[in-house]
Each structure stands twice: as structure tokens, then as C-alpha cells.
Structure 1
Amino acid sequence: MGRIRTNSSTAEDLLIVVDRSAADPLHRQIAASIRGGIRAGRLRLGTSLPPTRTIAADLGVSRGVVVEAYQQLVAEGYLTSQAGGYTRVAAGPVPTPVDRRAEDRPAAGIDFGYGRTDVSSFPRAAWLRSARAVLTTAPNEHFAYLDGRGVPELHAALTDYLNRVRGTSARPENVVICNGYGQGIALLIQVLAARGARRLAVEDPSPDDDARLVAAAAGLDVIGIPVGPDGILVEALEQADADAVVLTPSHQWPTGGVLSASARAHVIDWAQRRGAVVIEDDYDAEYRYDRSPIGAMQGLAPDTVVYCGTASKTLAPGLRLGWLLAPAHLVDDIAAAKVLADRGSPVIDQLTFADFLTRGEVDRHLRRMRPVYRRRRDALLAALRTRLPDLKPVGVAAGQHVVTWLPRDLDEAAVVAAAARHGLAVQGVSRYRLSPAEPGGLIFGYANLSERAITEGVDVLADAVAEVRAHICR
């Protein structure tokens, strides 16, 4: 390696690395070193470089090698050279891309972000037993290409489980296995769009990924239907002129309401009169802490409702296991779309999950985790009552998150930003709304936080809220 100083008092140090044992010619190595210094900002725009003779002498190479390197960089636009003058840097450093997502994250601290199931509690030993059983007993033909619906063993295990636990009216032939809810809703919307659907109704607020993004990409109009304390306002749905509606009736996301029996009947009647499809996202209904979960809407109208389920909240999102219970007239088209997408979900994972279900391991895991999540939820509510009593929690005692409305003197964006400055991540409700509405609110995901961390997080939030209020009073 040669360390070269320019003959200009304003130039910076120039580092050039030459490896004579390398396959690249010497002139390319010299050019690469100078190019890297320019891109990194070590050689600034306008800097004068040493004469070619100086570099050649210091590196022990011929002057022609350095001349060739300079000429290459001039041709690329990194350098500029004039007869009788110095060779100068003609380009600036490559700008570092800004990760906009990172702007919303604190550098360190507590994260109340939603969707972070406690994966540290995943039942590895039980899953391994099922995987071993599958690898020793699965028929050879299951390791070949299957149809887009998935393996029959998982169809049977899921229908038995969902009919028992979620009150569905499912038949094995109506099950399609997919890679989580994201793929399931994408396949379904793709099929509905191909059949002529033009408008998709969603709850407002609702998740801003998956259904809304996929529908917009498919050319569908996305219509927000306001949500009340108990879920979607069915009167507004009547006016929507939609071909399908996505609901979270057992635990509205994010506000936590449960759609009443009369409202469910109204939605089903609306869909049947219009020939529309109800898409039921049953994302976390197994976690209900004060009473038994409300049964799924699909059980009321299996020919009208497409039920979407997933192992992401019950076990772990990294499993990428999801399922659709689809009406008979949609199953074949969804399965064909699944084949076109990826030729089917991994067989060993499907068979392992089927064995896991039939052994009762999902039931055991839920029995273990319900009291854990309930204690964390209780710790969150107790800390809010103590430190931030004017933040009002809403929704039923269920799931893995809590929403609190903010008092009108607190701006949601200001509170979220102040919390981030204090090292706390918490999301606002407004980012999930399709239309502006009041009041602002915060979403607290608590599933993967200890009770101590939850209490400390609320303490930090209280300091952030005090900072916001102090700024208002100035």
C-alpha cells in the first residue's frame, strides 16, 4: 500500500492499495481506490490529485499505469483534467439512502409496537416432536407437487379445530393453505378482481398494509367505513356500493370492539342481497381474558363469508402459516392463484402443524399464554391509570394490544414524536385512518414486553406527555 500526499496545500490524503498478486490489472486497482475515496467523501469535490509521476514513483509502477487509471476515472466523470493544470475531483460522495421507517423508531428503549407476539415462548420441544413424527411417517407422495389447497391432513386438522374453538362451519374441501394472512388476502382479492369486483370496503381505522395495498394495486376502489365502539357502522356499509368488505368482527383492529349479533346479521343480509363477499379477518380471537371468545361470523353464513386465519398471533409469525375457509364457488380459483404464486406452501411445515393441532399442542400453548398476556395487559392498564389517567382505554379485554384515546389538548403526532425523543416507540391511530377523525389515540402492543418494561414504558410516556403539555403552555 502506498500513502500519497498531493502537491497542493488544499488537497487531502489519498490512499491507494495495490496488490500485485490480484487478478485485476494494476490500473484498475488504482482507479478503484481513488473511486472509493470519492464515493466515501474522503476526497472532496475540487480536490487536486498528485501528478501521475508522483504516484507512479511511490507505488513502484510505470507512469503509464497511473495515466490509464486517471483516464478511466475522467471518462467515468469522477475526475477532470486540463492540459497544464492539476487533475481534480469532479464528483461528490454517494449520498446515504435515508430509511424513512427508521425515523419513527427510537435509537434504543421500549417499543410498544403492535404485532410482536412473544416468540420466545414458542413451544419448540412440542413442535420438534411433531416434525420428527412427520419426517418418519409422511407418505412419499406428499413430498411431490401438491395442488394449491395444501395437504389433506392439515385441512382435516384445521376444520376440527376451528369448528370446535371458533364456531366455524368448515369442511376440509373448503380450506386453502397460504403463507400467512398477507398472501391469503392477496390471493382472494386477486380472484375477486378477476371476477369483476370494483370496490372493497374496509373498516376505518384498519391496517394500512395487506388488504388496502393489495386492493389498490389490483385497481379496486378502497372505501373506508367508520367504526364505532362495537365495530363497523352497518348503516354506512349499506351506502358503500361495495363488492366485498373486510372485517375484524371478533376484535376490531385497532379499537377492540366486538360486532354485535344484530350487526353481524345485518352485514350478512347486506352481502347476500348484493351478492357481495364478507372477508373475516380472525387475527387474535383466541386471546380473550374475561370471557369466552365470540364465535366466527363464518359459522353463520359459510357461503357468504371467507374466513382468514393465521398462526402468527397464536404461535409465531415466522411460521408463515395461514388459511382461508372459502365458499365452494371460490375455492378452485383461489387454489389456482396459489399454484400460480408459489406452487404451494411447504409440505413439511403443513404436516407438522397438522400433527401439532391434532396432538392438542395449540390448546396447551394457548392455555399457557393467556394468563401471561393478561398479566401484561393488566400491568399496562394499571400503569396508565396511575401515570396517565386521562388516556382512556377502549375495547374488550382481548388480543395483544390496547388502544387509548387522547384528551383533546394532546396532539397525537406531537405525543408520538416526544415519546421517540425519550427512547419510546408507540404508534398513533391516525396513520391507520382513511379519513381524518377525532380524537387522536395511541396503540400499545404489550405481548413481547415484561410487566416491568411495560410500567417503565408508561413512565417514559408520561414524561413525554408532560413535555408536550409544557410546550403548549409556553
Structure 2
Amino acid sequence: MTISQTNLAWATLLDLGPAEHGRHRLHDRLAHALRTAIRDGRLTEGATVPPSRALAEELGCSRWVVTQAYGQLIAEGYLCARVGSATRVSWSPDTAPPRPRARRVPAPPPVRYDLAPGLPDLRAFPRRRWADAVRTVTGSAVHYDLGLPDPAGHAVLRTTVAQYLRRSRGADADVASVSVCAGVTDGLVRTCRALRDAEGITDLAVEDPGWGRLRDAATSAGLNVHPVPVDHDGLRVEDLGRTPARAVVVGAAHQFPTGTVLSPARRAQLVRWAREVDGFVIEDDYDAEFRYDHHPVAVMQGMDPSRVFLLGSVSKTLSPALGLGWLVAPAAMTPALRAANLVAAAPPVLDQLALATFIDRGWYDAHLRAARRRFRSRRDLLVRTLGAQVPQGRVAGTAAGLHILLHLPDGADTRGAVRAAAAVGLRLVDLDDYSAKRSAERALVLGYGNINDTEIPPAVALLREALRSGVPRPRPDADG
């Protein structure tokens, strides 16, 4: 119970506990319980404890037990009593003797500029229209929509997503093949479990470098992970054939973090590989809506729906806070997918219906059009500013997505630059953070999704200074 406005401690729960050695007498146990309540902060300084008669009646003991306990705590300084006034708590952490404090590790400085990848423009989240969508479905949802959700996702959203993927991404999808999940990582875990249980697949190939959470998701699902290198045409399929994997995760439209697009020849080669090994391709379509030089490349899933899983979400287009994504599975794998993930929790039904409304009313397409214009302009500004202030760097990656790759000269200390930048409030990420092992290539992965245009020049200025501190100085000659 809570203490009333008059600050009475009548309602504090007291655990007298069993009779123990040294505290077998009831008044000792009561004093211990009150002392603990005071030290834990449940009875604060100035709180009034119950009159002895009232507390004795509540505990079913004699009044003597209570007065003895109160007397002990008064002597110890936990309580104070005055004639004609209530007995009150007189102890607080401020009046207690200071305890030795553990040595505090200095907190890192606050982030002033964020050039790390992974987030869209959170300032541009369409709050009003999303709120309208939530309000609409809350008022219109039928009563059975408010019951236990379908583990595969609400049929309304699955239908809407299938239609959206067919028209915008060239996918071969229908309501039966679509499952709603919490995002790409959740969808990958579900897929890996289904492949393990239904197909006996124990090994999964991933792109190297690549998003570390995908490797962690596969490992958590019980699969062995095999990194496969990426070059300017995307995943090296010939190297994939040297692994025992029968499944592979690939970012075909825009690989993270290199920014390459899987070439048409590699796409065809990858589909042939899946057929030859009786395996599967898991396509991570994480930010394919953002292509700035021409229309986005269609998904691989349309080339062979029987061999390709398609993963997507709104984490990079709206916000990861929504926790909404989708998984399109081959028709033959759909029963196994549902059976292997019986306890998988679908996102909240009202959020699913809100996303369906948001897409059906054209608000999602309008948001993406505005976001593409904003990100294209921001990317151009970042590239120009880097060219002027960091001329030793070379920008790489397709004009797409929410990040670029900044290659640096050999010998550049990218890790030192990341540390130096963090010390002045600039968040950077080293390419090596996404690699299975440290490589000789020196590069930074720079995200521009969650930064204002006006922040880019000062952020790049701090980046320039961090790189200067991260470049090893030449050693003096042996002769001095």
C-alpha cells in the first residue's frame, strides 16, 4: 500500500519472517522488519508509524511487543517520539554515515552528431497520419480483432503487404505466403528455425562484411554461420559454393555495409546455386525503397518464389520503434514456417491494422516519396562536404539507402578515429565492426538518415579532426 497524504506509514507491508536464531522473539523480528522498511526507503524520513495499540491489533500481538520494538528503534536513531505527538521515522540515507563508493567510470560525452548507420530520419516520422491511422482502426476494429492475434499476422495487413510488394518490389506474394513479424531479425530467426526443422539445414552463409545482428539471429536459431566475401558485384557466389551451407542471407538490392547491388549475373548464379544444392536464398530487402539514381531494382524473390524467402520491415522507412515487418515464404515452406515458430508473437493487432490503413490510404507511398527527396539531397550534401574537407577519402556505394562507405588511405587508424570522434560527441562506425575478421581495408560507414542537413558540415569538420588524430605519425629514423 502507499503512504497517505498525511504521510502515515500505516500501510507499509512488514515481513516479520520466521523465528530465526538470534531473532526468535517477536519484538526482535518486528524491530528488524521496521528497520528494513526504513533502510529500503519504504518508510521515509518524517513518516508516521502506527500507534502501538493499533499496530498490535493489526499484528495480533500484545501492545508490549510493539512498544519494545519502537523503543529499540528509537534508541538506534531510526524513530523519534515526543510527548503528545506521533512517533515518526527520523532516519534517511542523508543522515546515515556515508558508505564507501565504487569508483565511477566517466560517462561518455553526449552525442552531438550521429553519423552511424541504421536509423531513418526520426524527426520526419509522420506522427499525425500515424495517429490518424491508429485512431481509425481503434474505432473501427470489430470485437474479435481484440482477441488473441493470429501468429501469422492479421489477414488485413498480410493482404495489404502482399499487394504492396507485388506493385512496388516485383514480388510474387499473396496473403497465404506473407507472415507478419517484428522485423527483419525476427523474420530471419523464424526462417532459420523452419529450415533447420523441416529441411535439416544446419549451415547458413552470410555476407562479409554484413550486419552483425543477422549473424547473431542465425546463431540463436541453432545454425552454423559461414561468412562469404562481397566484392563490387555483391556476394561472391563461387566462394559460397566452398561452404557447407544450403542457405544464404543476401542484400540483393543494396548490400550493407558496402552499398553494392547484386549484379544480374550474380542473381542468376545465386538462384542456380540454390537449385543445385536444394537450398534457399533469404533476401534482406531492408532499405531498397531508397534508390536515387533510378528506380529500385526488383526483388530476387520474383525470380524463383520456391527458393527465395523475402524479408522486409518499416524500420528503415518509418521507425524501428514500430516493430513491424513481414516475411514472404515459399509456398511449400509456409506450413513448416508456422509449425517451427508456434510461440512466435505477432506484433500488436491494432498496430498491424494501423499499418494496413497507412499503406491503403496512400500515406506510405507519399512518405517514401518525400523521404527519397530528402535523403537524396542529404546524401549529395554529405558527399560534397566530404570531398571538400576530407579529400584523402573516397566515397563508395550505390546512390541508395541511408549510408555511404568512406575509404581511407592505407595505414589510417580508423579505430582511433572512432574513439577520437566519440570524445567530442561524434558517432562513427568502423567498417571492421561489420567484418568477421579485421581486414586490411580502412573505411568508415557513415549514415546520414538520422542527422539534419545543417548538422552535416560541423559533423564532417569533427570527422576531419578525428581522422588527423587517427593517422599514425611517421617514426623517426634510427639515427635520430
Q: TM-score, normalised by structure 2?
A: 0.78
**Are 1:190 and 2:193 counterparts?**
yes
1:416 is matched with 418
1:465 is matched with 467
1:264 is matched with 267
Deviation string 1:275-329 (CA, Å, 9 cap, x unpaired) is 1110000000101111111110001011100000101111111111100010012
**Are 1:203 and 2:215 counterparts?**
no
Report the CA distance shift for 1:67/1:446 in structure 2 as closer, same or farther (over 3 A): closer
Whichever structure has more helix as a proportion of its residues is 1
| Overall identity of the aligned pairs, in % | 36
**Are 1:455 and 2:457 counterparts?**
yes
2:21 is matched with none
**What's the secondary structure of 1:212's corresponding residue?**
helix
Displacement of 1:473 in angstroms is 5.9
CA distance in 2, matches of 1:34, 1:140: 49
1:439 is matched with 441
Displacement of 1:108 in angstroms is 3.7
**What's the secondary structure of 1:351's corresponding residue?**
helix
Structure 2 counterpart of 1:129, which letter?
D
**What's the secondary structure of 1:340's corresponding residue?**
coil
CA distance in 2, matches of 1:67, 1:124: 55
Structure 2 counterpart of 1:228, which letter?
D
**Are 1:116 and 2:119 counterparts?**
yes
1:213 is matched with 216
Deviation string 1:166-198 (CA, Å, 9 cap, x unpaired) is 111112110000111121111111222223211
User: Structure 2, unaligned stretches of length 5 or more?
Assistant: 1-7, 15-29, 42-69, 79-96
Is 1:216–1:222's contact at 8 Å kept on the other side of the alignment?
A: yes
CA distance in 2, matches of 1:312, 1:427: 19
User: Structure 1, unaligned stretches of length 5 or more?
Assistant: 1-18, 37-59, 69-88
Report the CA distance shift for 1:145/1:107 in structure 2 as closer, same or farther (over 3 A): closer
CA distance in 1, matches of 2:257, 2:9: 63
Aligned residue-pair number: 407
The 10-residue stretch of structure 1 (134-143 or 152-161) with the greater mean CA deviation from structure 2: 134-143
Which residue of 268, 288, 305 maps to 1:302?
305
Is 1:106–1:425's contact at 8 Å kept on the other side of the alignment?
A: no
CA distance in 1, matches of 2:467, 2:317: 33
Is 1:176–1:334's contact at 8 Å kept on the other side of the alignment?
A: no
CA distance in 2, matches of 1:387, 1:320: 38
**What's the secondary structure of 1:404's corresponding residue?**
strand
Report the CA distance shift for 1:124/1:471 in structure 2 as closer, same or farther (over 3 A): same
1:5 is matched with none
Q: TM-score, normalised by structure 1?
A: 0.79
CA distance in 1, matches of 2:414, 2:372: 31
The 10-residue stretch of structure 1 (441-450 or 111-120) with the greater mean CA deviation from structure 2: 111-120
Is 1:147–1:339's contact at 8 Å kept on the other side of the alignment?
A: no
Correspondence 1:326-341 to 2 at 5 A: 326-341=329-344
Report the CA distance shift for 1:382/1:205 in structure 2 as closer, same or farther (over 3 A): same
Displacement of 1:265 in angstroms is 0.5
2:179 is matched with 176
Displacement of 1:402 in angstroms is 0.9
Is 1:168–1:295's contact at 8 Å kept on the other side of the alignment?
A: yes
Correspondence 1:378-397 to 2 at 5 A: 378-397=380-399
Report the CA distance shift for 1:66/1:278 in structure 2 as closer, same or farther (over 3 A): same
Displacement of 1:361 in angstroms is 1.1
Is 1:224–1:435's contact at 8 Å kept on the other side of the alignment?
A: no
CA distance in 2, matches of 1:261, 1:293: 14
**What's the secondary structure of 1:203's corresponding residue?**
strand
Coordinate RMSD, CA, aligned: 2.9
Is 2:292–2:372's contact at 8 Å kept on the other side of the alignment?
A: yes
Deviation string 1:357-407 (CA, Å, 9 cap, x unpaired) is 111111100111111111211111111101111111111011111111121
**What's the secondary structure of 2:343's corresponding residue?**
helix
**Are 1:283 and 2:286 counterparts?**
yes
Displacement of 1:436 in angstroms is 2.7
CA distance in 2, matches of 1:473, 1:322: 53
CA distance in 1, matches of 2:210, 2:394: 20
Deviation string 1:249-276 (CA, Å, 9 cap, x unpaired) is 1000001000011100100100111111
Structure 1 counterpart of 2:268, which letter?
A
CA distance in 1, matches of 2:11, 2:324: 48
CA distance in 2, matches of 1:455, 1:167: 38
Is 1:288–1:398's contact at 8 Å kept on the other side of the alignment?
A: yes
Structure 2 counterpart of 1:313, which letter?
K
Report the CA distance shift for 1:394/1:143 in structure 2 as closer, same or farther (over 3 A): same
**What's the secondary structure of 1:341's corresponding residue?**
coil
Is 2:193–2:341's contact at 8 Å kept on the other side of the alignment?
A: no
Which residue of 138, 141, 145 maps to 1:138?
141
**Are 1:148 and 2:151 counterparts?**
yes
Displacement of 1:96 in angstroms is 7.2
Is 2:194–2:341's contact at 8 Å kept on the other side of the alignment?
A: no
Deviation string 1:5-54 (CA, Å, 9 cap, x unpaired) is xxxxxxxxxxxxxx997956555666788899xxxxxxxxxxxxxxxxxx
Displacement of 1:441 in angstroms is 1.1
CA distance in 2, matches of 1:201, 1:350: 31
2:245 is matched with 242
